Amino acid sequence: MSTILRPDLKIICEWIRPDTHILDLGCGDGTLLMHLRQTRNVTGYGLEIDTANILQCITKGIPVIQTNLDKGITEFFDENSFDYVVMTHTLQAIQHPGKLLDEMLRIGQEGIVTFPNFAYWKSRMQLGFGGYMPVTRALPHEWHDTPNIHLCSIHDFENLCQNRGIQVLQRAAVNHAFRSGRETRLWPNLLGESAIYRFCKSTPQ
């Protein structure tokens, strides 16, 4: 029986080819890897720091390594070890997100990340008119207890990719229900509460 996924994770699954090798950074309880194994015949590993999540991964038969992503990932894997390296809603909590993106593309052919869009209209309203750090469904923490240290907008992320020689292959902006629609496609930086990106190294001209 297939696991039940949020709509944003379903988008990620649609981007991943069957019979490939995956690394899931901050894999949580292993739900995404479990679903990909069941529906796409993928193999792979998860990296996770939380002990409770690691125990759930082991129960599901998901190979998992306990580590802090801020310490880097290159020590565990050789260059081009994976077809995809995935990281969902963790990028904003990393000390050096640009460096981690580079490491993802060193050990993987392609990367996929999701992150909360700080330029979402509700965040703009709370900050611009209320004068407070935004609290939304994608950013549920108060400023003093948030794990997020590098919040960014969709435009910020695309500028980072351009500056680091990263080519965006696919992009989706999703609303509070993690669904993509006509409005989020037309105005992703305004109406997208979260963003999903698939990318690779830019081909030299």
Kindly list the domain boundaries of the chain, sorted by start residue: 7-199
* pLDDT of 205 over the 50 cut: no
Partners of residue 168 on adjacent β-strands: 199
- Which residues are CB-neighbours of 145 under 8 A, at least 6 positions away? none
Spatial distance between the Cα atoms of 74 and 79, rounded to a whole number of angstroms: 8
Chain-centroid distance of CA 109 in Å reads 16
> Percent of the chain having pLDDT more than 90?
64
13-43, pLDDT tens digit by residue?
Answer: 999 999 999 999 999 999 999 999 999 999 9
Q: Tell me which DSSP letter residue 16 carries.
A: S
- What letter represents residue 122's amino acid? K
Helix locations, 5-92, DSSP H: 7-15, 31-40, 51-60
Question: Region 146-165: what's the mean pLDDT?
Answer: 91
pLDDT mean across residues, the chain: 90
Question: Region 140-150: what's the mean pLDDT?
Answer: 82
* pLDDT of 57 over the 70 cut: yes
* pLDDT of 98 over the 90 cut: yes
Residue range 7-199 forms a domain whose CATH class is alpha beta
Spatial distance between the Cα atoms of 86 and 6, rounded to a whole number of angstroms: 15
Chain-centroid distance of CA 175 in Å reads 16
What is the per-residue pLDDT for 202?
A: 86
Instruction: Give the three-state DSSP class for 194.
Output: strand
Give residue 2's pLDDT band: very low, low, confident or very high (50, 70, 90). low
